[in-house]
Amino acid sequence: MKKILEVNNLKKELENFRLDKLDFSLEEGCITGFIGTNGSGKTTAIKTILGLYPKDDGKISFFGKDMEKNESFIKNRVGIVLDEGYFYEEMTLKEMKSVIAPAYTDWDESIFLKYIKRFDLNINQKIATLSKGMRMKFAITLALSHHADLLIMDEPTSGLDPLIRNELMEILLNFMEEEGKSVFFSTHITSDLEKVADRLILIDKGRIIFNEGKDELLDRHFLVKGDSRLINEHTRPLFLRLNETAFGFEGITDKRLIVQEQMKDIVFERPSIEQVMLAYVREE
Ligand SMILES: Nc1ncnc2c1ncn2[C@@H]1O[C@H](COP(=O)(O)OP(=O)(O)OP(=O)(O)O)[C@@H](O)[C@H]1O
């Protein structure tokens, strides 16, 4: 499969935080969820990849082209949604659109108007008067209106109600129906990814912890439930994360066969993305 984005050895140092040698690539035709808890480095990684923060080291290429030498070609083909949309507050949506649209060679007014309608936005409303969710919908509309091949979105579902979040997931699935499209989006609402993601990348404290197909990841981890008396010095290390109460234990393991051998009367269930994510996130 074609590589849409390649990030090699990316480093970025902020005052109290460091992105540590990020290495990953995105393949064409995939929706990749970029997950991690608050402050894990998702926004910093996305902004550095997009060149909004200067990188300290590493190489970034989109569509096989070096980011630094092909910025305008790349920006044309990438639809971007950032969590704090960069808009002029005094403008109406229509005026803001007129500023942004000429930057894209493939701007499509009919798509723009289609999403304005679908998201129930008023093009004559001032940006300053939009709610957080409406701002996000406007940013998503702009990103979808220039025939981008790759959508990069930072927390696009934050501030959206469950109904609109669900609609956005449908929109992403529709977007993927056309050949050659890819989506990369960060979120800490991992339930949004259960239905749509093909791959998941977990970042924690500025480092990538896993980068794997969603189904493979969920197929090789198990949520185990049973009596707390089964937990002892031999069984405890079999779990990546373990919660014990007076009533029983719940743990995430990637060693199903050994657990099955050593513990009787337990139940195996398929974990959620959130449960697997939390199993890998180191606590302070
Ligand atoms: N401009 C900046 N200057 C200094 N430190 C920063 C800057 N931006 C972010 N940080 C720090 O970098 C760390 C990672 O923040 P970042 O916003 O990338 O995390 P995140 O995973 O996107 O979190 P969230 O889910 O809360 O949005 C945090 O400790 C944050 O305080």
Are the CB atoms for 202 and 280 separated by under 8 Å?
yes
The confidence score (pLDDT) of residue 284 equals 62
Residue 70 has pLDDT above 70, yes or no: yes
Residue 84 has pLDDT above 80, yes or no: no
pTM of the model: 0.93
pLDDT tens profile 95-126: 999 999 999 999 999 999 999 999 999 999 99
The confidence score (pLDDT) of residue 85 equals 64
Domain ranges of the chain: 3-217, 220-280
The confidence score (pLDDT) of residue 185 equals 95
Find out if CATH 3.30.428.10 is the number for domain 3-217. no
pLDDT tens profile 137-183: 999 999 999 999 999 999 998 878 898 899 899 999 999 998 889 99
**CB distance 41 to ligand 1 below 6 Å:** yes
ipTM confidence score:
0.95
The confidence score (pLDDT) of residue 238 equals 96
**CB distance 162 to ligand 1 below 6 Å:** no
Instruction: Name the residue at shortest CA distance from atom 12 of ligand 1.
Output: 17
Q: Give the strand pairing for 222-226 and 249-253.
A: antiparallel
Please state, in angstroms and rounded to a whole number, the distance separating the CA atoms of residues 128 and 242: 46
**CB distance 15 to ligand 1 below 6 Å:** yes
**CB distance 187 to ligand 1 below 6 Å:** no
User: How far apart are the CA of 38 and the centre of ligand 1, in A?
Assistant: 8
